[in-house]
Amino acid sequence: MGISRADLTAEFFLHEEHRIRWAAHRDAVERRGWTVRAVRRTGAVEEVFCAVVDGTHAFTLADNILTGNCHHNYVAEESYDGMDLLVTRKGAIRAGEGELGIIPGSMGTASYIVRGLGSTASFRSASHGAGRRMSRAAAKRRFTEADLAEQTRGVECRKDAGVVDEIPAAYKPIEQVIDRQRDLVEVVARLRQVVCVKG
Ligand SMILES: Nc1nc2c(ncn2[C@@H]2O[C@H](COP(=O)(O)O)[C@@H](O)[C@H]2O)c(=O)[nH]1
Ligand SMILES: [Mn+2]
């Protein structure tokens, strides 16, 4: 995967020094046709944006925001009003009081790091993402690769027909989805989409 200078805008860069370096080398020759065939150790040290904490699957973002893996399809034994229940979170995350979670938008829109408010009305749960506004089949009928390229402009990601069913317009507006669950979570950080890797 490569990030091409020509595809980037100044807003892409989180660090001022990186923005300045990019601006100074804008006219550098692009090597779009190149293919990575091998990766070797060079001893070079680069600045990174997050660090994994051993054993916990947690990592920190800029400003020391601690976050981590966030499951959204599982069953857990939990107690409510003295009753021991099996809570199934299928397309939902746990939002216990003070617990951190991730609520993503789509390939082209923002993601949110949130902190649960522990609402028992939702069995301490919140949404696991913006959620679909149309099926994968409907998205494929309605949108083209060109629409996908347009809606993911500035994001380094696949833009081919194979992922048109995940086009941003196939999902609900993440800002609205977050707004409508203010009683379940508080926003810790809004993350701007830069790279999206499909597994
Ligand atoms: N940041 C991204 N968010 C995405 C992507 N594909 C989907 N989504 C959002 O997450 C939920 C859950 O997705 P799922 O594929 O696990 O069902 C979904 O409702 C979207 O709001 C993505 O590529 N990047
Ligand atoms: Mn997806």
| Domain-wise residue ranges, the chain | 5-191
Percentage of the chain lying above the pLDDT 90 cut: 58
Tell me the per-residue pLDDT of 93-122, one tens digit each, with 9 for 90 and over.
999 998 889 999 999 999 999 999 999 999
Q: Which CATH superfamily is domain 5-191 in?
A: tRNA-splicing ligase RtcB (3.90.1860.10)
- Burial (CB count within 10 angstroms: exposed 0-12, middle 13-18, buried 19+), residue 26: exposed
Which residues are paired to 126 by β-bridges?
93
Q: Is the pTM of this model over 0.80?
A: no
Residue 72: active-site member: no
What is the residue with the minimal CA distance to atom 15 of ligand 1?
Answer: 166
- Report the nearest atom of ligand 1 relative to the CA of 198: 23
Nearest Cα to 90, choosing from 104, 75, 102, 112?
A: 75
